[in-house]
Amino acid sequence: MQSIVRRRGCVRAGVALAAWLIWGVVCHAADRPNILLILADDWGWGDLSCHGHPYVKTPNIDRLAREGTDFHRFTVASGVCSPSRTAVMTGQFPARFNIDGHFAWVEQNAKRNMPDWLNPKATLLPRLLQQAGYATAHYGKWHLANDMIPDSPSPAVYGYDDYGAFNCSGEQMPVHADAERTIAFIEQAVGKRQPFFVNLWIHEPHTPFHVLPMYRWRFRELDEPDNIYAATLAHADDRIGQVLDALDRLEVADETLVIFSSDNGPARAADAAPLELMYDTATGAGFGIAAARGITGGRKGYKAALFEGGIGVPFLVRWPGETPAGRVDQQSLLSAVDLLPTLCEVAHCPLPDGYQPDGVSQVSALRGMGAGLRSSSLFWKIEAGWPRSKARPDHWAGFAVVTDRWKLLASRSLEHSELYDLVSDPLETNDVADEQPAVVASLLAQLQAWQQTLPSAPAGPVFSQLRQQQNP
C-alpha cells in the first residue's frame, strides 16, 4: 500500500464528477482497503469471551482481537442508539443535529425537540466513500429514522448502493438476514474488483431477543434469562463468523479493514421484570427486557448513562499489515466521531471544503503509533433527570465532557457535577470534584461554551408530513 502522504494530492474536496473519475484511475482500488463496519446494538464491553465474560462465547469476534487490536478507551457519542449512529455517519456530535435520544414516532420526536430523521443533506460517511468509488451497502438496524414514519428517507438517500434494513421506512429486512445479504454484496463487489464499504449493523442484543433453538441448546445448563442472552450473542457471533469466513474464501481478508463495536452499553431493567414476550414493529416478537443480562466489565452504569458503562463499548480493529495483531491499547482515547475522518483517510477520500468534523483521524492509533492529538474535548448531551433515582442511580447526568485525563459529568441544569480521573480511575469509582475545583470550573466553562454552539431547534429537510400536518 502506498503511503497516505503520497496520495494526499490525488484529489481536492468538492471537485466535479469528472475529477473523481480521473482520481479513480490514479488511486485505483488496490491502493485502498475494503471497509467492514460491524456495529452491534446494546452490546456491553464485558459481553465478549475475550473480555472475560463468564458464559458468553464469542470465538469469531475474539478472532478480531487476536488478529488485530483491542482498544479499551473507545467511547460512543451517546448512551442510546440513534445519537451514536448519527456520530458514526457524520463525524459530529449528535447534539449538533438536535438528536439527543432515539428516533420514535412523530409526536415523541416533536415533544423532545428532535427531528424525525437524520438530515440526508449532512456530510455523511457512506456518501463520501460512494463518491470516492467505493461500493456501499447497509444491512441491519437503521434507526436514523423510525419504521413508524412512512415518509422518512430510505438508507439509499444517504449514500448506499444497496441496503436491507429495519427501523426504517418501507419493508423491514428479517433480522437474521444481515450476514447473507452482506456476503452477497461483498461477492458482487469483489467480482467487479471494486473496493467496498459495508455497514453490518446487527440487532443483537437489543430487545426483543429472537432466539433459535439450536443456540438455546448450547447453553442449556444456564437459567432461562442467561440462556436466552448467551444464545442471542452466540448466534450473532456465528453470523459475524460467516462474513469473516467469506472474506477468507474470496481472498480479500488481507485487503479489508474490519471494525467491531456497539452503539452503547448493555440494557438492564430498572426493576425486576418477568420473563415474557414483547413485540417490536420492526423486528417482530421475542423475549423482553428480563433477558437483558449484559455486563460492562466493571464499568459504572448501563445503556442511557453517560458513565463508562453506558458509552464505553468494545472496539476491535483488524487491518492486516497495518494494525498490530494481538495488541491491547489502553491509552488511545478514541470516539465514534473519529470514524468518519479516520475511514476517509484510510480510503484516501478527502473531506469536503467547509466541513469540520468534531472527530479527528485516528489512523496512527490504528497502526499502533499512538492516538492523534485532539484540539478540543469530547462532549455528550442526553436526556436525564436530576436528582438521581434509587432504581437508576447512574443515569442522572445530562452532559459530559472528557479530556485525555478528566471526565466531568453534570446534570442538565449544571447544578450538580462529578469529576473523575480516567487515567488513574477508569472505572469511575472516586469522585474528585471537591479535590479539583479548578478542573471542575475549567470543564464547566468548556461545557457552557459548547452549549452555545448548539442549535436551538432542528433544521433542514428533517420533518415528516405527519408532523407538519399536526403543527401547521
For the segment 341-395, what is each residue's pLDDT rounded down to a tens digit? 999 999 999 999 999 999 999 999 999 998 766 778 999 999 999 999 998 999 9
Per-residue pLDDT for 426 more than 90? yes
The architecture of the domain spanning 378-451 is 2-Layer Sandwich (3.30)
pTM, whole model, 2 decimals? 0.93
Q: What is the pLDDT of residue 9?
A: 36
DSSP 170-189: SSPPPGGGHHHHHHHHHHHH
User: In this predicted model, what pLDDT tens digit does every residue of 308-343 receive, in sequence order?
Assistant: 999 999 999 999 999 999 999 999 999 999 999 999
466 membership: H or E segment, kind and range: helix 465-470
In the chain, residues under CATH classification 3.40.720.10 are 34-366
- Segment 111-119 mean pLDDT: 97
The residue ranking higher by pLDDT, 426 or 12, is 426
Mean pLDDT of the chain: 93
Q: Which CATH superfamily, name and number, covers 34-366?
A: Alkaline Phosphatase, subunit A (3.40.720.10)
User: In this predicted model, what pLDDT tens digit does every residue of 191-234 receive, in sequence order?
Assistant: 999 999 999 999 999 999 999 999 999 999 999 999 999 999 99
Rounded-to-integer distance, Cα 284 and Cα 77, Å:
28
In the chain, residues under CATH classification 3.30.1120.10 are 378-451
Return the SS3 of 10.
Answer: coil
- Segment 238-251 mean pLDDT: 98
Bridge partners of residue 69, in order along the sequence:
317, 327
DSSP secondary-structure letter at 391? Answer: S
Rounded-to-integer distance, Cα 395 and Cα 309, Å:
11
Q: What is the pLDDT of residue 375?
A: 79
34-40/256-262 β-pairing:
parallel
Q: What is the pLDDT of residue 373?
A: 67
